């Protein structure tokens, strides 16, 4: 399943490179708000509160942008064509989800930068260390679970509370996959720095998550049809027959020079 996921994502990224780059450019513009504007504002206002508000606004703006991008990326995963009209349509319908997850990400930012350092330095040291450990691992669980949030919200019904609950259930039921996806996307983002985060970038990472969730949902459809089956023995080869036929395979020549075939 992992091998097919990587192959399909690679093909979809390559086939939609220009559109992925354009969407990443929009996201890069959004990141200017939390990264550069607070520093610039600090030169004029000299207020930590203003900087924090601008950071919060920037994180929320980026989250709303990604919620709309996730809505548009579904068509790629579903063997369709990405349309920028889908992005603007998604912006109108998914901004509440982006607003909520943006607020949560800002809260996690405060926890990692303010709360945990405070507890580490508090007296007695052992109590502070224990509280820091609990908060840290709770934050890690949140990251593992809520990496699915945009995709779950757009694919499994636009209900914010239910989407959070489904994210946690998916993460708990697929712990190994969740850790793999988080680490893999962190590596992808680091490597994207070579291309100034234009490709594959955060939008490419989001597409990878969408592909993973869409394929993983085949498991739950199969379990629903076979309630007595062993959950630890999913027949991925059988479940992915149609997917593999649609995706196909490519030689290196066809991958780089498709017009020569």
Q: How many domains does the chain have?
A: 1
- Within a domain: residue 67? yes
> What pLDDT is recorded for position 259?
57
The ranges of the chain with pLDDT < 50 are none
Exposure string for 199-223, b = 16+ CB within 10 A, e = fewer? bbbbbbbbbbbbbbbbbbebbeeee
Does some domain include residue 258? no
Domain carrying residue 30: 2-249
For residue 219, tell me if it sits in a domain.
yes
257 in a domain, yes or no? no
In a domain, 100, yes or no: yes
| pLDDT for 254 | 73
Q: Phi, psi at residue 121, to the nearest 5°?
A: -95, 0
Is 256 contained in some domain?
Answer: no
Q: Looking at residue 149, what is its pLDDT?
A: 96
Cα distance between residue 202 and residue 214, in whole Å: 18
Tokens standing for residue 149: 């949030």
- pLDDT on residue 45: 65
pLDDT at 207: 96
CB 177 within 8 A of CB 192: no
| pTM metric for this prediction | 0.91
Residue 111 tokens, joined? 């926890």
In a domain, 260, yes or no: no
Asked whether the CA dihedral 89, 90, 91, 93 is positive or negative, the reply is positive
pLDDT at 27 (0 to 100): 94
pLDDT value of residue 72? 95
């Amino acid at each position: 399943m992992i091998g097919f996921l990587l192959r399909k994502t690679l093909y979809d990224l390559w086939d939609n490179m220009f559109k992925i780059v354009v969407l990443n450019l929009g996201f890069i513009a959004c990141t200017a708000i939390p990264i550069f504007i607070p520093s610039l504002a600090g030169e004029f206002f000299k207020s930590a509160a203003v900087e924090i508000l601008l950071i919060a606004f920037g994180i929320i703006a980026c989250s709303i942008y990604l919620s709309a991008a996730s809505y548009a990326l579904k068509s790629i995963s579903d063997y369709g064509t990405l349309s920028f009209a889908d992005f603007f349509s998604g912006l109108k319908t998914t901004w509440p989800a982006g607003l909520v997850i943006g607020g949560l990400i800002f809260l996690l930012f405060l926890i990692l930068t303010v709360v945990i350092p405070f507890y580490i330095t508090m007296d007695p040291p052992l109590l502070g260390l224990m509280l820091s450990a609990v908060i840290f691992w709770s934050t890690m669980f949140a990251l593992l679970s809520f990496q699915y949030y945009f995709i779950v919200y757009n694919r499994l019904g636009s209900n914010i509370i239910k989407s959070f609950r489904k994210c946690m259930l998916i993460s708990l039921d697929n712990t190994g996959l969740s850790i793999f996806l988080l680490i893999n996307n962190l590596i992808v983002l680091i490597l994207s720095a070579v291309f100034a985060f234009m490709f594959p970038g955060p939008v490419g990472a989001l597409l990878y998550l969408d592909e993973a969730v869409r394929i993983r949902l085949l498991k739950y459809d199969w379990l629903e049809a076979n309630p007595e089956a062993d959950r630890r023995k999913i027949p991925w080869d059988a479940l992915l027959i149609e997917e593999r036929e649609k995706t196909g395979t490519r030689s290196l020549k066809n991958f780089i020079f498709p017009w020569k075939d």
